Amino acid sequence: MVEALHYVPEDDQKKRYNSIDEYRKKYGDSSQEARGNLGLQRGRALERILGTPDIESIDNEAEKKGLIMKKRFDDGKEFSVIKKRYAQNGRKELDLDAVEEYFKIVMKHQEGDPVNPEAQFANDLRIEILDQLNLDEDAVKYYSSVGTALDTTKDIRADAFFDIAGSIFTFDITAREEKSDLELDSDILITEDDISMVNEIGLTLKEDSKAERERKKLAEQAYLIQIEKVARKFVEVYQQRQVNVA
């Protein structure tokens, strides 16, 4: 079981929120490392941050049901996308029934527990969303879609998603500094700067010294600030949906 990090209440909220800047001034900008990981080694980085589903089982079931088709990147590596259908206007568009069915398949073939994911970032974010919305423990479930057709299909582009009280909220982690609204296919966009401190969590101390312990403590404070801010993005989208439904 992953032991999630939790915020320790502090009187000086401004000081707490300045911990990210303080960490960067003292130890460097960890977002540079995040940018490198998400760019040059995006696959491995996302697997560490988000975890991975059982891609083989997902592809096998989706292929049998005729939901996906295979394509190749420029380097020859094969990937899957959800099939499209012709609309009444003659244009190809995503088959929403196929998309819904594919989401169910991805949810079915997860490597971990959706209410206790093994990836620490995913687990901490799930708990923070749950706390901010004041929902029951099992009302927020996490699913990784790294390497699946949800990740590679245009108009979806979801690295992972949450089921929040029965509604799906997808998100995409990008290494790009800027991404226009026209390029945003998922519900929530998370940049490398949003989660830069994830690289500092779980690292062993270089030495058992006061300086290293202080660095670890400050890193955890800054990381938790980022988790809180990212969770707020989901909460805002969730609340806006509730208003739209009402």
Check residue 32 and give its pLDDT: 52
Check residue 190 and give its pLDDT: 92
121 phi and psi angles, rounded to 5 deg: -55, -45
Dist. CA 11–CA 48, nearest whole Å: 34
Dist. CA 21–CA 29, nearest whole Å: 9
pLDDT per residue over 32-47, tens digit each?
554 444 444 566 778 8
pLDDT per residue over 55-83, tens digit each?
999 999 999 999 999 999 888 889 999 99
Check residue 62 and give its pLDDT: 97
78 phi and psi angles, rounded to 5 deg: -85, 145
DSSP 10-64: -S-HHHHHTHHHHHHHHH--HHHHHHHHHHHTHHHHHHHHH--B-HHHHHHHHHH
Give Rg (Cα) of the chain. 19
The model carries a pTM of 0.84
Check residue 5 and give its pLDDT: 44
Per-residue pLDDT of the chain (246 residues), as tens digits, is 344 444 444 444 555 567 888 888 888 765 455 444 444 456 677 888 999 999 999 999 999 999 999 999 888 889 999 999 888 888 889 999 999 999 999 999 999 899 999 999 999 999 999 999 999 999 999 999 999 999 999 889 999 999 999 999 999 998 655 444 445 589 999 988 899 888 777 655 666 788 888 888 888 889 999 999 999 999 999 999 988 876
